[in-house]
Every structure is written in structure tokens, then in C-alpha cells.
Structure 1
């Protein structure tokens, strides 16, 4: 038997008819005179072994808007959206395709492109929050690359599920360049007549550009953390290392270099047991952690946070602890948030902060997303449920001499009240 390879635009219809015959024979348990491509044949075999129904899928419901937003904010894919858009969208729109980005679980997180094709995709359930795992909806350009971990084009009746056979999908996995972990899949899809053989190489190239961008961001982040760490490590004696939020090492002193330390998901300052270091003193730095094995003395002294709002257009935060001092310049939104947390030392819920910032307690998704970004540099100095500074941290707010100059860019109701009342931290 020979392998079926979809041809160019001129013979797409003929290839689709031939594939339809191959699919029908395979699903009927008959011997087809022409074999599907190996990657498709292997996928169909997985579907048949798993009992996937070619006529009815059993996908779970769409993710809620809040859950889609939460996943968007927590995935590294958000950092490479500009690369994906620049590389795919302009061509996809003209070619009557759409670009879809899904996470490692096959859930659709972004969907952009030709408006008429987007409407057609709605009819296939190709919507935000939809579940496109292979064992749920059959062979497709998102779920199959997740399984085989390489780019795959699925043309017309190469789809296992009947409803998708008028569609063509081309997906490529995007992996974390640091450890090879699957982050998700970028897919270009459209009606079968829009398929072109070069689409596979095109999508794969853009996915590799996205991975290169992630590698660049990782190295830039380590360089930035290394600059913060240098004066801190210079004052220490004995063993110590500085790692980013994911445990990747930026700098070491007094000990052999280790590329990564496995950190618990909810690391906080204090004495913590970390493999392979054992008991360590853990202190937050801007964008990372200072780790010192417990056989080294830990200087005493509470952590002090100074929020400097004296400059109308430039707010900053300085953190002082046992190991030294570091500073971080704040965006206008983060300056607002930290000011509001300083107002409410006992803590504030996401709804309360949304009310303070927007006059709308329903805008909790935006608040949680911004606080997630704040935690990247404040780390364990912020607690949640409710959101607040750590109880053992001394918080000082430096205010402008004229209260009317308090965060002049801000329209947050609570900040506006603070300019003309005694509502000051």
C-alpha cells in the first residue's frame, strides 16, 4: 500500500474524496487499497482502541470566562502571543484561516483571524474554553500534536470525527525551552479548500520562533535578577544562591553552581527544607529568592517595605531584610494596588479591591491578574484570602507633601478619596 499525501490546492478536492473512502473503509474494519499517512493511521488506531465515537464526541463543557482568563494569566504562552500574531495572523486572515492557541491540556485559550471562518468554527465547537484533546474529539490539529509532540497537519477526512471532515488543521507544539515541558499548541485552521502543503512548515517555524522568544525572556530575566543579587551576595559570607521564581539559578557564592533548585509551589520566606540543599533560610528578592543553607547564620531583623509615592510620575518600592535591600519601580496600576493594601492592613478581598479601584466589585478577574504580577517580585511578602501584606512585615508609605499629588494618574475611587481626606496609611 502507498501513503496518501494531500496535494496542493489544485487536487485538494480529489485528495479529500480519496481520504473519505480510506476513512470509511478503516472505520468499517475493511482493508483499504490506500493507507493513511502513518501519523494519522496511528492516531486512528488510538481512537479505535479508546472507543472514541466517530459520530459523537463526549467533550466536557466550555471553561468559564473566568477560568479562561485565569489560564491565560498563568501560562507562559501569553508572552509569545505577539510573535504568533505577527507570524501567522496576517497570512491566515487573507488565506481564510484562523489562529488558535491552546494550553497543554488542549483547552482553547485564544482564537483570532478571519471573521467568516471564526463563525464556521463556532459550528464545530472550536470556541474559547473548548476541550480539543485527541481522546475527546478524535484526530485533530490540537489534540494530536499534544500526543505526538511534533507538528501535524490533519486534512479533511483525516479527522476521526465526522463533523470535522470539511476542515483542515495544522498544529505545532510549543515547549518550554528550559526543560522541554509542553506549554501548548498553536494551530492554523480553516475550510479544506484553503489547505496548502507549506502550511505545516510555516506553522512549525513560527512555533520555533515563539520558543526562541521564551528562551530570550528567560535569559533576560536571569540577567535582571543577577543585577539585583550582586550587591546582596557581596555582603554575605558562606554559601548562598539566588534563583528565579521557578528555581533557575541566577547567581551563587561559596558553593558549586546548580542550574535549578526544585521549589515548592507555595514557597514563603523563613526556614524551609529544599532539595538538595536541606534546611535553608529563604528570603524574597525582586523576581526571585535568596537561599542560604541553614548552617550559615541568618542576620536578625524584620522585613521592611517602603512604598514611595512622593514622586507624581514615578513610584517605587524598597524592601529591606536581613540580607540587604533591593528596590523595584512600580507601574501606575501596581502603585495603586499596593497603596490600597497599605490602607487595609487587615486585608482586602478581590471584590473589595475591585470596588476601590474601579467602583465595580465585579471586576475581580482584573484585580487577581494584576496581583499575580505583583507577587512575581513581592513573592511571600504578600498573602491572600484576603490579600494583605505579611503580618511580620513593617510597611511604610511615603506620601507627597501635597495630598492632592497622590498618584495623580489614578482615577480609582479610593485614591481620589485619599487625596481629600484623612484616609492615609
Structure 2
């Protein structure tokens, strides 16, 4: 009978030193291939398994080159995280400083862009290489409160020897991903870290709640920007006949005329003025506006030629779908859930009903409402390349799936039974 995972937060709240000793025994036993008195928590054990496969050395930390100060500044300016720094600071810094913690904000690549808080703890972080510009991805520095939440796409606390690399075992951290509320894309991770004796059971919930406040602020900013764009759109669309839409730079719709409203129109990755083939509308003319684009449908026959759809799941955390044909090509970065759904449709080329997809994803055929809502969002950018009743890729499309070299690295965040079965980790 397998040992049950220990309740780290509960034990550490009573006796942090004892919790650290027990976790060290668990870690040593796991690395030696032996059975410990208690099992590591599943999220930690799965992280350790990934690292053992990838060859990270648990006895020596590895520090890739720090970004230059100029590169850190450039990334700060380009990151949407800069818009929510006031929220993160207000929610975390005052308590973190008193509790002898630091706040760390990393981008989607795991690079540390901001680091603030208790000065003595900042110096200790320097000793771990936890510095501005450092690469804190899981597959670089092991299980940690920045890299691991980015992989599993949920909040994670890493206490003491739950860190894979031995030199990090004096540290505790709690991190939560921050995603773009418009499409679920990971934009970064916020982490609160400090010496192991400063750990508190409520830290993870606290960090997660502040991350959600940051996402709410991003959503609010987006809606306000669309409202401003509508004011620009109104007189422009009033002068037009035919089908047209005004969208922001990412394709989110501010207003339409002569066509049904849709939340988003998939634009080329780097849109430019001129005629472009868009999956939702066909041949269109793109014209720049202040804060977005005017998209006018050009009613000409669709260009001939076959369509090729490439679902790229090979790169960790960078899943995408690329559509190409005689009119050109475009790509769309996928959220974790959309990557799951499109993988399942690629596996089942004859199609899956809503209940079939619900069973594939959740193990529960009754969760059709959730599946239909997500598939509606997928169809906003894949347009005519997906059919429904059942859901499937269109018959004349060539579909290719790019997979990780190791099947166990397929969509590591996913708990979908069918995906777990493809990884060889299912029941």
C-alpha cells in the first residue's frame, strides 16, 4: 500500500524544523529510488519526475547567464506585468517585508524582472542566484515557486527539501501564475519567498488571491481600451457598406457593421496594411486605426488550395496552432485547455461529441456546458477549419501534431484522462 503524502503546511505550522527534516528524508529516499515513510505531495513528485528525466543535477545548482540590465529593462517595458505591479506591491510587499519575505515577479520565460522586499532576505536570495535577470525555469533550476507554477499552471508552494536542488532546501516559496484573462496565455509568475522558518500555511492562498486581483486589473484595462476604440470606430463604420469590424491590435472586437458580432478576429502575427486572408472572414483589407485595425471583408471567391494545420505541442509552455494554405499562414498561441482540446480532436479525426470531449478531458461526460463554451472560444480563431456535431477538424485539412521527444512531457499541466493515457501515466 502506498504511503500517503504529508500535509506540509500543517506540519510546518506546528514545527518547521521537523517538517524540514521529514522532507529531507523524503527527498533523499526518492532520489535513491527507495520508499520513504511518507510520500511527497503529488505536485512535487511529478516535478521531481520531470527533472530526473531532464537530467537536472540535484546536488549542484545551475545558473544560466543573467540578462543584462538593458535586457531586463526592455522586457519590463514590453511585459503586461508592468501594468499590475502596483496591485502586486500593494497586496504583497508590506506583509512580505514584516514576515521576512521577498516578492519576485518573473515573465513567461521564467526570467526574474522585479524583486523587492526585506533587505537581508534579498541578500540571501543573491546567494541562491535568485537575482534580477536570472532564469528560474523548472528545467533549469529544479522545483521552485516560479518555474513549477509556470509548468502546472496553478499556485504551488515549495517548502524546504521539496526543492529538487539541495542548496535550495533552506528556502521556502509560494508562487502563482498570472495569465492573460483574454486568452489564458501565461504572462508571468508572482512569488513570495524567504528562509524556511518564515513559512506560513496561509501564504499560498494569499499569493494566489493577489495574482487573481492582478488578472482582474488586466481585464479591466482591456475593457476600458475597447471602449476607447469604440469611440474611434463609430464614425468610421458609419460611412461603410458591407461587412467590416474594428478590432484592437490583438484582434479583440470593438465594433462591427454588416456582420454578426464576434469577440475576436484572428489577425496575422504581425499584421500590416493591405489584403490578408483571415479564417473568420475570408479575404479582407486591413487598415490601421488609432489603437487597432479596420478590417473590411472583400467579397471575392476563396483562394483554392489545401489547408495544413500544425498543432505544436513539442515546446514546453509554448503550444500553438499554425494554419497555412495558398493564401499564406498564421499562428495562434494556445491556452492549456485549448491545447488539450485540439490534441484530442487531432487524435479523434472522425470527431468527438461534447459529451465525448467532456469524458476525455474531465472523466465526466456530463460536463458538456464547459466543453461547449471552450470550443466556442476555439472556433473564434480557427473559424471554418472546425466542424461541429461532432466537433472535428474539417475533412480537407491536413493535420499534423508535433509532440515532445518524451511522451511523458506531453501537456504536463493536464489531468485529462486521455492525455494522461497518451503520456503513459494514466490509470
The normalised TM-score by structure 2 is: 0.67
Structure with bigger gyration radius: 1
Task: Give the distance between the partners of 1:274 and 1:59, measured in 2 at CA.
Answer: 43
1:66 aligns with 2:70: yes
Give the C-alpha shift of residue 39 in structure 1.
1.0
Other-structure match for 1:3: 5
Other-structure match for 2:279: 275
- Cα RMSD (Å): 1.4
Give the C-alpha shift of residue 169 in structure 1.
0.7
State the SS of the aligned residue for 2:15: helix
Aligned ranges 1:69-108 → 2 under 5 Å? 69-108=73-112
Task: Give the distance between the partners of 1:254 and 1:234, measured in 2 at CA.
Answer: 11
Task: Give the distance between the partners of 2:12 and 2:209, measured in 1 at CA.
Answer: 20
Aligned ranges 1:100-179 → 2 under 5 Å? 100-179=104-183
Do the aligned partners of residues 199 and 88 (structure 1) sit closer, same or farther apart at CA in structure 2, a change above 3 Å counting? same
User: Do 1:80 and 1:213's aligned partners in 2 also have CA atoms closer than 8 Å?
Assistant: yes
Task: Give the distance between the partners of 1:189 and 1:270, measured in 2 at CA.
Answer: 50
1:285 to 251, 267, 289: 289
User: Do 2:67 and 2:133's aligned partners in 1 also have CA atoms closer than 8 Å?
Assistant: yes
User: Do 1:244 and 1:289's aligned partners in 2 also have CA atoms closer than 8 Å?
Assistant: yes
Gaps of 5+ in 2: 301-427
User: Do 1:146 and 1:173's aligned partners in 2 also have CA atoms closer than 8 Å?
Assistant: yes
Q: How many residues align?
A: 296
Other-structure match for 1:181: 185
1:252 aligns with 2:246: no
1:212 to 211, 216, 229: 216
Other-structure match for 1:379: none
Misfit runs of 4+, over 3 Å = none
Task: Give the distance between the partners of 1:217 and 1:95, measured in 2 at CA.
Answer: 32
Task: Give the distance between the partners of 2:231 and 2:107, measured in 1 at CA.
Answer: 33
Give the C-alpha shift of residue 140 in structure 1.
0.5
Other-structure match for 2:33: 29
1:231 to 204, 217, 235: 235
Give the C-alpha shift of residue 76 in structure 1.
1.2
The normalised TM-score by structure 1 is: 0.68
User: Do 1:9 and 1:193's aligned partners in 2 also have CA atoms closer than 8 Å?
Assistant: no
Deviations 1:228-252 (A, max 9, x none): 1111111212211000011101100
Give the C-alpha shift of residue 2 in structure 1.
2.6
Aligned ranges 1:337-416 → 2 under 5 Å? none
User: Do 2:61 and 2:167's aligned partners in 1 also have CA atoms closer than 8 Å?
Assistant: no
Gaps of 5+ in 1: 297-425
Other-structure match for 1:56: 60
User: Do 1:9 and 1:194's aligned partners in 2 also have CA atoms closer than 8 Å?
Assistant: no
